Structure 1
Amino acid sequence: MKNTLLICLFVFAALSCKAQNIIPVEDFFDYQNEIPDGTYIKDINNVLNKFTGTWLGSYDNKNYEIVVEEVVYQSQIRTSLTYDQLHLRYKITDANGTILLNTLPLPDDNDYVAMGQYVNPSGAYQLDYAGYEYDCGQSGTLFIKTFNDNTQMKLYLYLGESPYNEDDCPNGFAEQEFPTNSQMLLTKQ
């Protein structure tokens, strides 16, 4: 009887410890600097689902196809941390349908796939973005936020600091591929 009781206590303790290491993805913003080893930032309340899918929109005479998917990511910096996060890929075409940029076929670990960070307090999701001309200023944080019963999404780019060397960028600061002064509207397909 004592052995059965001890086994039950060990199982209960193990389950309790495991539950303490799960942080809901929507609460990650509050824990950023205090995440213990072995933590799983998990989408237990399905808050990321509203962002996933294929989204279409136009901006500055270009057509955008944005594909957002949820992935499980194992941190490369702290191997004991696991995240449910969003990855964003895109295809940009001109008015004639000519492809200007296409990251849709790229693998998850490619630098040009925008990788999620967290849902911020406003309800927008933040993703790290690096464009093909990163060294000439194409980088920052993409913000996406759904509205209208999650059938539409707003997207904009907040410019980050990237290396910029005039010798490496003879044409100057790179043109941004995403809006920085206004929001692009996208519709879920």
Structure 2
Amino acid sequence: MSCNAQTYPLRTYIDMPENAYLKDTNNELPTYEGTWFGSWNNKTIYITLKKVTNKYNSILKYYEDLLIGKFKVINNTGAVLFDNTSISDDKAKIEGGSFKKSDGKYLFSYLDMDLCARNGYGTIQFTDTTKTKLEWKFSEGEVMIDTDCFYYGQTWPEPLPKSIILTKQ
């Protein structure tokens, strides 16, 4: 699909006109692409980030370049706890948003309908000049477990870490 609308760089901090294109003109997103891993609470997570270009945002009504993420979590015995790495890109549970103006951190959202609509928001940023380590911060959204949820009355799982340093594989 091509887009003939006005193009803006990713770090544009204005209300975007309808059908505009928020484009990675400075080629910032590829440095985040790849598989990242880290450990927390006797678990290891592998997150694969991928750049998607010219995706239409039906809520904000413009096109954008962004990162999507898929992940796999294993426990310390090697058992797979969560794995959405084989789903299609358009079903990715982690989706990038934009760079924050105040500190340059990249914003992302998380929505997992397979875990009773588990959701939240977070940021990532590089911690070193070689760009091989990412600081990950995540805050869960409001969770309402109803009786239809298979976790109703059980301990709620923790698919994503709240805070972790991820290393590029």
Preserved contact between residue 22 and residue 39 of structure 1 (Cα < 8 Å): yes
Shift of 1:166: 4.0
The match for 1:49 is 30
Note the residue ranges of structure 1 that are not aligned, 5 or more in a row: 1-17
Preserved contact between residue 133 and residue 174 of structure 1 (Cα < 8 Å): no
Q: In the alignment, residue 21 of structure 1 is paired with which amino acid?
A: Q
Aligned pair partner of 1:119 in 99, 113, 122: 99
Preserved contact between residue 116 and residue 145 of structure 2 (Cα < 8 Å): no
The match for 2:125 is 145
Does the residue aligned with 1:50 lie in a helix, a strand or coil?
helix
How big is the alpha-carbon RMSD for the aligned residues of Structure 1 and Structure 2? 2.1
Count the aligned residue pairs. 160
Compared with structure 1, are the counterparts of its residues 134 and 165 closer, same or farther at alpha carbon in structure 2 (3 Å cutoff)? closer
Q: Which structure is higher in helix share? A: 1
Residues 1-189 of structure 1 aligned to structure 2 (within 5 Å): 21-27=6-12, 30-31=13-14, 34-72=15-53, 73-77=55-59, 81-110=62-91, 112-121=92-101, 122-131=103-112, 132-135=114-117, 138-149=118-129, 150-162=131-143, 164-169=144-149, 170-171=152-153, 174-180=156-162, 183-189=163-169
Distance 1:134 1:166 in 2: 9
Q: In the alignment, residue 146 of structure 1 is paired with which amino acid?
A: F
Does the residue aligned with 2:90 lie in a helix, a strand or coil?
coil
Moved over 4 A (4+): none
More divergent stretch after superposition (125-134 vs 94-103): 125-134
Q: Which structure is higher in strand share? A: 2
Distance 1:141 1:114 in 2: 9
Note the residue ranges of structure 2 that are not aligned, 5 or more in a row: none
Identity across the alignment (%): 26
Q: Give the alignment's TM-score, normalised by structure 1.
A: 0.76
Does the residue aligned with 1:84 lie in a helix, a strand or coil?
strand
Deviations 1:22-44 (A, max 9, x none): 111122xx22xx21123100000
Distance 2:128 2:60 in 1: 37
The match for 1:13 is none
